[in-house]
Homo-oligomer: A and B are copies of this chain.
Amino acid sequence: MNIVISNSSGEPIYLQIVNQIKRQILQKELLPGDHLPSIRQLALDLRVSVITTKRAYEQLEREGVIDSHVGRGSFVSGNNLDYLRKQGIQQLEDQIRQLLKKGKELELTIDEITDLMHRVHKEEQSE
Contacts and interface: CB of A to CB of B under 8 A. Distances in A.
A117 B100 contact: yes
A82 interface: no
A69 B62 CA distance: 22
Interface residues of A, number: 37
Contacts of A110: 117-118, 121
B93 A95 contact: no
Nearest to A102: B92
Contact of A106 (B7, B67, B88, B98): B88
Please report whether the interface of chain A is mostly helix, strand, loop or mixed according to DSSP.
Answer: helix
A4 interface: no
A39 to B, nearest CB: 16
A101 B1 CA distance: 20
A67 B99 contact: no
B92 A99 contact: yes
B106 A102 contact: no
